Amino acid sequence: MSEWIYVALFIVVGLVIPIGAIAAGFIFGPKKPNPVKESTYECGIEPVGPAWIQFKAQYYIFALVFLVFDVEAVFLFPWAVKLGHLGLYAVIEGIIFVTILVVGLVYTWRKGMLEWA
Amino acid sequence: MSFWNDPLKVAADWLEGVFTGWGMNADAAHVLVAFLGVFLLIAILMVIDIFLVWVERKVVARFQDRLGPNRVGPFGLIQPFADIIKLIIKEDTTPGNADKVVYNLAPILSMMSVLILWAVVPLAPVMLGTDLNVGALFLIAAGAIGTLSIIMAGWASNNKFALIGGFRQVAVMVSFEIPMLTVLMIPVIFAESMNMNAIIAAQSTWYFLISPLGALIFLVAAIAELGRAPFDLAEGESELVSGFNIEYSGMKFGMFYAGELLHAFTFGGFWAILFFGGYRFLGLEQVSPFLAILILIIKAMLGYWVIMWVKYTMMRIRIDQMLAFNWKFLTPLAFALLLVTALMNALLASAPAWLYTLGMILANIVTGWIAIEIARSATRSEREHIEGGKKPAEAHH
């Protein structure tokens, strides 16, 4: 566990340095806000409506497929580490495992879900 | 054990002695020394980062047949310091209707995600932040925080350009993490460990030589993760003005900018560690840790230079092209390569080293060639499908 203390220290110092830099900017920079300056940029005209709108995310299906493969990586990393000891049997197991998931990708592809619509 | 062979340990032991001499608890002294070490490493990184600004601008200038900064100091070396002073004394505007907490957190996280990556970078055989046994996974996890910061910045700014930039970053994230994770397993298979130091120690021959295709896929995925051209969709200067960081000014913008440069340099370093032997070069790393650090920095700079070369040569691709390229080409190719590598690794386990290397290279070349042929015939049939109605003569005019 002691190794993770170093990670914690890296996180702490990694947070302190940018906070310090931004604080320096906050201290030394001028602060004269006005409504025009605070409005968001929209090519020089006044912003039309809020930006937090509902937006069609065409890659929603991509995100679902991504989740499947991302979880799969959790299973494959231990497999990769011990592959040298386990030999051909584990390789075939791995091929079967990946093939099942790739069938899912092929199905999505065949269904036309990997097209930009 | 002299200072020349293991400077970190000598210095740490001496400092711990000093602190315990002041009547400090041994554990507290240990943590305090570790804190100082981490602080020193990150301070050095920030100095490197400042010079990376200069390196980047000089290299771009050369690519575009210009001179680059050359007025302030010798070769314009003082220019980045002038830039920092300008960033500090610039007014830090926040959009009135932004989500303030998320807006301010994003640049901090952007920088932090890069700095914590250096926790698992082995600088020399005896010098590394921490010897995590899941170093490869840590690389992915910390990289994801950087992506998250871009999404946060895009959302919190309450600006339409920034929002589109943030959405596009989601698309990049769901695309290029899979090939990266997959090819990351290739060095893990060879080294039988996820520990960065063990991966370097196992590289008697560079993994680039036994898995050139894996190294290339890692580079492409890394460039996408960095959000640099041709995958700089989230920034898109010419269409989204500046994308996710459009509303940021002063030091907050500086954090995004510095974070991006250091991220590119760091991934150059990881490319060197995973595929080019890290700090190892002709046994020179055994001479002194200082030499090992120098070797790693030179290799990281070369990797960074390749990333810059790609950035200033390629044009930005469209988001649908990027998704199609990833899901229809890169992901299947990465999985095919992983399985071929695993299979060859098991089949050639007892073969002599030269046969192993040769078999791996051939497997890589054949896999890459088959993939390119499939892609070529698929694009040809698609093109014929689209242009089918036209006569060839008309298509030319």
- C-beta atoms of A7 and B345 within 8 A: no
> Based on the domain organization, do B48 and B178 belong to the same domain?
no
Mean pLDDT of B383-388: 81
The alpha carbon of residue A100 is apart from the nearest alpha carbon of chain B, in Å, by: 12
Give ipTM to 2 decimals: 0.85
- Measured distance CA(B219)–CA(B206) in Å, rounded: 16
Closest Cβ–Cβ partner in B38, B92, B157 for A10: B38
When pLDDT is averaged across residues B334-338 and rounded to a whole number, the result is 89
Minimum mean pLDDT among A46-60, B145-159, B357-371: which range?
A46-60
Half-sphere exposure of residue B128: CA atoms within 13 angstroms, side-chain side: 24
Ordered alpha helix ranges (H), chain B: 7-21, 26-63, 79-88, 100-117, 135-156, 160-191, 196-201, 207-210, 212-226, 237-240, 250-275, 289-311, 319-325, 331-347, 353-387, 392-396
Note if the pTM is more than 0.90.
no
Residue in A17, A81, A102 closest to B192 by CB? A81
Phi first, then psi, for residue B163 (nearest 5°) are -65, -45
Write the pLDDT tens digit of every residue in A8-27.
888 888 888 889 888 888 88
pLDDT in tens, B277-291: 878 777 776 777 778
Confidence of residue B395 (pLDDT cuts 50, 70, 90): low
Q: How confident is the model at residue B391 (pLDDT cuts 50, 70, 90)?
A: low
- Tell me, yes or no, whether B191 and B74 share the same domain: no
Number of domains in chain B: 2
B337, B88 contact by CB (below 8 A): no
Mean pLDDT of B130-141: 80
Task: Tell me if B397 is assigned to some domain.
Answer: no
Query: Rounded mean pLDDT of A96-115?
Result: 84
Evaluate if residue B349 carries a pLDDT over 80: no
Please tell me whether residues B42 and B152 are part of one structural domain: no
Q: Is residue B258 included in any domain, yes or no?
A: yes
Chain-chain contact of B255 with A22 (C-beta, under 8 angstroms): yes
Tell whether B237 and B212 lie within a shared domain: yes
Distance from CA of B384 to the nearest CA of A (A): 18
Q: Which residues of A touch B98 (CB under 8 A)?
A: 40
Residue A117: partners with Cβ closer than 8 Å, 6 or more residues away: A58
Confidence band for B49, pLDDT divided at 50, 70 and 90: confident
Q: For position B396, what pLDDT does the model report? A: 54
Last residue of one domain, picked from the residues B89, B109, B142: B89
Boundaries of domain holding B124: 95-379
pLDDT above 70: residue A108: yes
Domain count, chain A: 1
Indicate the residue of A22, A35, A95 with minimum beta-carbon distance to B252: A22
Residue B56: its H or E element: helix B26-63
Nearest CA in chain B to A92: B343
Note whether residue B387 is domain-resident. Answer: no
Read off the pLDDT of residues B60-106 as tens digits, 9 standing for 90 and up: 898 888 888 888 878 888 888 888 888 888 888 888 788 888 888 89
Residues of B in contact with A28 (CB under 8 A): 88-89
The answer, for A36 touching chain B at a CB cutoff of 8 Å, is no
Are B262 and B147 members of one domain?
yes
Which has more confidence, B94 or A59?
B94
The answer to whether the Cβ–Cβ distance between B251 and A22 falls below 8 Å is: yes
**B161 sits in which H/E element:** helix B160-191
Residue B183 located in a structural domain: yes
Shortest distance between the Cα of A113 and any Cα of chain B, in A, equals 11
Please tell me the distance from the alpha carbon of residue B239 to that of residue A12, in angstroms, as a whole number. Answer: 37
Are B323 and B198 contained in the same domain?
yes
Give the pairing of strands B122-124 and B127-128.
Answer: antiparallel
How far apart CA B6 and CA A70 sit, in angstroms, is 40
In a domain, A15, yes or no: yes
- State the Cα angle at A93 between A89 and A99, rounded to 5°: 145
Q: Judge whether B394 lies within some domain.
A: no
Q: Tell me, yes or no, whether B283 and B232 share the same domain.
A: yes
Q: What is the pLDDT of residues B229-287, one digit of tens each?
A: 788 877 777 788 777 888 888 888 888 888 888 888 999 988 988 888 878 777 776 77
Domain that holds residue A40: 2-110
pLDDT for B159: 83
pLDDT band at B5, cuts 50/70/90?
low
Q: What pLDDT, on a 0 to 100 scale, did the predictor assign at position B206?
A: 84
Find the CATH number of the domain harbouring A82: 1.20.58.1610
Task: Grade residue A85 by pLDDT with cuts at 50, 70 and 90.
Answer: confident
- The conformation of residue B127, written as its DSSP 8-state character, comes to E
Q: Do B137 and A51 touch (CB under 8 A)?
A: no
A34 falls within a domain: yes
Mean pLDDT of B116-139: 78
CB contact under 8 A, B181 and A70: yes
Q: CB distance A59–B170 less than 8 Å? A: yes
| pLDDT at residue A1, rounded to an integer | 56
Answer yes or no: is A14 within a domain. yes
Q: Are residues B225 and B82 part of one domain?
A: no
Q: Does residue A115 sit within a domain?
A: no
Asked whether the beta carbons of residue A39 and residue B157 sit closer than 8 angstroms, the reply is: no
How far from A103 is each of A68, A96, B365, B371, B380, CA to CA, in Å?
Answer: 12, 11, 25, 18, 24
A110 close to B (CB below 8 A): no
- Band of the pLDDT at B394, cuts 50, 70, 90? low
> Binning pLDDT at 50, 70 and 90, where does residue B389 land?
low
Residue A117 lies in a domain: no
* B60 contact A CB<8A: no
Query: What distance in Å separates the CA atoms of residue A13 and residue B222, rounded to the nearest whole number?
Result: 25
Contact check, Cβ <8 Å, A52/B346: no
In whole angstroms, what separates CA A84 from the centre of its chain?
31
Does a structural domain hold residue A116? no
Judged by CB atoms closer than 8 Å, whether chains meet at A88 and B347 is answered as yes
pLDDT bracket for residue B294 (50, 70, 90): confident
Q: In this structure, is residue A8 part of a structural domain?
A: yes
Best B197, B251, B386 member to test A by mutation, with max A CBs in 10 Å, is: B251
